Chain A
């Protein structure tokens, strides 16, 4: 069986002015399997969000393909693609709505198109409890701390029981302990639900609970070799003399 999400030689660029073209992604390829957690480490403005938007079917690439369960996302009709994004692909980001909604309403929001309000709210409560943020249910979104917003964003993403969870730098403003707890939480959710997670991060400590790590900069995605694979030319383990190497 193929990967749940498969990006192949995806390129995205934006026109800036009449002459200048900014290349955000250049021939980026990545596979994410069911139950697998993949972290993409990148600095600010290096195409993290664009990569996730392409994977979510929200940003058509200039070239290359994005497949979800074997289907070319951009070969689907807009209607089918938005249905996928509503049910099977979830996007968690730390920036919530500008309107001041209660957290419970915010988490239940994606379900309102398919379920009754009562049922949507029941499922939202369950999702909030699962991430350990039930006490925030009645608070307003605007009043939440960064750490609580991250939890609410994860709850809103998992409430629709997706197969693929895309996470955009949820831990950027969190401290060590909170980042560790979010990582553990995503790992346990992925393990319990067989969920695939693709998360973009700007700090390495957020990658601890992830199976694979990739690096993104200048539009180029560099994926770490799987365990046992040849990493290619190793220019890090210099010098060859053991005592000098140990002194590094």
Chain B
């Protein structure tokens, strides 16, 4: 958010729009900007540049919105962050916990849950591709920004790819596990019957 304000001052609505356009695949929700701006103002990294007057789409009431800009401290902070090494924390989701707590009887349901997750992730990648295509069509291939956009979007795609590949492996593993449990219970039944 700070980086967006370093690029250009904006109001919260504009920031939400720019955030969705630039980092769409991350699933940011509307209202994120307002929340983040509060923290940034508290840290003196952002300040109010002024208030702009606008008209709500479809006519009606005037809208007054604050326009924010990065402070000198904010710009310095952003520059240091840009040059620092990245440290991404591992993402833990409910699915990890479900797989960890899964019992043999839960396997058929878990396979369905994982397959659904795979469908959703594949759909997310598909939707991301649509956005990337339309954005890239609008950019000149020779443009520096277009070349950087290629890197950013492939990073987003790689995130979903790793997700899909992990889910593929988990599903195949759970299916094998279910087949093994099924075979074991059948052989137990045969032994009991022979006794």
Contacts and interface: CB of A to CB of B under 8 A. Distances in A.
Contacts of A207: 125-126, 129, 157
Interface residues of B, number: 47
Interface stretch (A12-20, A103-111, A236-244): A236-244
A245 B32 CA distance: 11
B116 A203 contact: no
B130 interface: yes
Nearest to B162: A204
Contacts of B151: 176
Contacts of A218: 168, 171-172, 175
Interface string A34-47: 00000001110010
A124 to B, nearest CB: 27
A46 B167 CA distance: 14
A208 B128 CA distance: 8
Contact of A214 (B29, B122, B154): B122
B141 to A, nearest CB: 9
A43 B94 contact: no
A99 interface: no
Nearest to A181: B141
25 contacts: A41-B122, A42-B168, A43-B165, A176-B151, A180-B150, A204-B160, A205-B153, A205-B158, A208-B132, A210-B129, A212-B126, A215-B121, A215-B164, A217-B168, A217-B172, A220-B171, A222-B118, A224-B119, A224-B126, A231-B123, A235-B94, A236-B124, A237-B120, A238-B95, A243-B35
A231 B121 CA distance: 10
A146 to B, nearest CB: 18
B27 A213 contact: no
A116 interface: no
Contacts of A239: 94
B120 A231 contact: yes
B93 A222 contact: no
A210 B129 CA distance: 8
Interface string B59-100: 000000000000000000000000000000001011100000
B119 A204 contact: no
B168 A176 contact: no
Contacts of B123: 213, 224-225, 231
Most chain A CB within a 10 A radius of its CB, from B123, B125, B151, B160: B123
Interface in A178-210: 180, 203-205, 207-210
Nearest to A180: B150
Contacts, number: 119
Most chain A CB within a 10 A radius of its CB, from B26, B29, B119, B157: B119
A245 B27 contact: yes
A217 B129 contact: no
A223 interface: yes
A111 B118 CA distance: 42
A223 B35 contact: no
A235 B117 contact: yes
Contacts of A227: 127, 130
A215 B121 CA distance: 10
Interface of B: 26-29, 31-32, 35, 91, 93-95, 113, 115-127, 129-130, 132-133, 136, 150-151, 153-154, 157-158, 160-161, 163-165, 167-169, 171-172, 175
Nearest to B19: A246
A248 interface: yes
A97 interface: no
A208 B129 contact: yes
A41 B164 contact: yes
Contacts of B118: 215, 222
Contacts of A222: 115, 118-119, 122
Contacts of B122: 41, 213-215, 222-224
